[in-house]
Amino acid sequence: MEENKSYEGRTDLALEASESLKTTGQQENGILIEEEYQKKTDIRITCVRITNEEAEQAVGKPKGTYITLESPALLYEDEGYHREISTELARQIKKLLSKEQRQSLLVVGLGNKEVTPDALGPLAVGNLCITRHLEPKGQTISAIVPGVMAQTGMETAEIVKGIVNETRPTAVIAIDALAARSTRRLNATIQIADTGIHPGSGVGNHRHGLTEESLGVPVLAIGVPTVVDAATIVGDAMGQLLDTMEETEKRKLIHGMLDERLKNLFVTPKDIDETVKRISYTISEAINMAFSGTRY
């Protein structure tokens, strides 16, 4: 099983992680999957619930709810910055956070704004409507772009924990660029999870987590896959060959993919600059909507 996983490649999407279980017939009892297709907006909403430890192990993701919005439209420019997707994302945020939890929000823009596909979080924070310092009566938003460990020398978890202790928000939303397994999902999927951020996830591979357990407040994680690990691309391309191969060849293959040099490489589309800018806007608009008084 472990070996099998390794050449299927890493994914931060619970949807992809549970898909592979389906195909191998190993889906456990603790995994609930619901799908909904909105014809009018062409958005596919999938909700994966991981409810027990067996399921945690099988999927390789912690217990919790993972919602993915998939829309081919996300890949293309749109004058309204995909308002229909922002609206749906805002609706999902409001389902996962109660009105009390939405009282004062801290948004954390994870990632390295100097590396284009990892700049999703910092860019999204740049478009938020920040209100905490204005002390309005309604819900307030504060935000931080902590930077990555090579820039700060600190674990992101240390920085965020310190700020949460000091400013006492009622909830945290962490926005992060993710790694997908399939190139088809790059920049075409938004995942919202009520589990927070866990070690090893995200493009920057966090060492410590940002979770309700560590921060003391609910943590939503919003992410978009903007890269595929280099090793995964190799595995993908060879998938169809595997069946016809002998065991010795397979081993060679796996060895090749786990090549040390591939480990620090990632694969990303050539137009990633425009795409990341656009999707970051879609996400920040959703948060602005979910935390303002106005109806939509």
Question: Can you give the binding site for its own copies, defined by CB under 8 A?
Answer: 112, 114-116, 125-126, 130-134, 140-147, 149-155, 158-159, 161-167, 183-184, 203-204, 228, 230, 233-234, 237-238, 240-241, 244, 249, 252-253, 256-257, 259, 261-262, 264-274
Rounded to the nearest whole angstrom, what is the least distance from the CB of residue 203 to its own copies in the complex?
Answer: 8
Q: Are 270 and 84 in contact (CB under 8 A)?
A: no
- Chain-centroid distance of CA 250 in Å reads 31
d(CA 159, CA 266): 26
* CB-nearer residue toward its own copies: 92 or 112: 112
* CB-nearer residue toward its own copies: 32 or 245: 245
* CB-nearer residue toward its own copies: 49 or 113: 113
Rounded to the nearest whole angstrom, what is the least distance from the CB of residue 88 to its own copies in the complex?
Answer: 19
* CB-nearer residue toward its own copies: 21 or 254: 254
Backbone φ, ψ for residue 198 (5° rounding):
-115, 155
Rounded to the nearest whole angstrom, what is the least distance from the CB of residue 226 to its own copies in the complex?
Answer: 12
Rounded to the nearest whole angstrom, what is the least distance from the CB of residue 127 to its own copies in the complex?
Answer: 10
**Any idea how long the chain is?**
296
Rounded to the nearest whole angstrom, what is the least distance from the CB of residue 264 to its own copies in the complex?
Answer: 5
| Strand partners for 109 | 175
d(CA 183, CA 188): 10
* CB-nearer residue toward its own copies: 175 or 228: 228
* CB-nearer residue toward its own copies: 38 or 165: 165
Q: H/E element holding 171?
A: strand 171-180
Closest CA to 226 of 197, 257, 204, 209: 204
Pairing verdict, β 43-50 and 64-70: antiparallel
d(CA 204, CA 190): 18
Rounded to the nearest whole angstrom, what is the least distance from the CB of residue 113 to its own copies in the complex?
Answer: 9
Q: Are 7 and 230 in contact (CB under 8 A)?
A: no
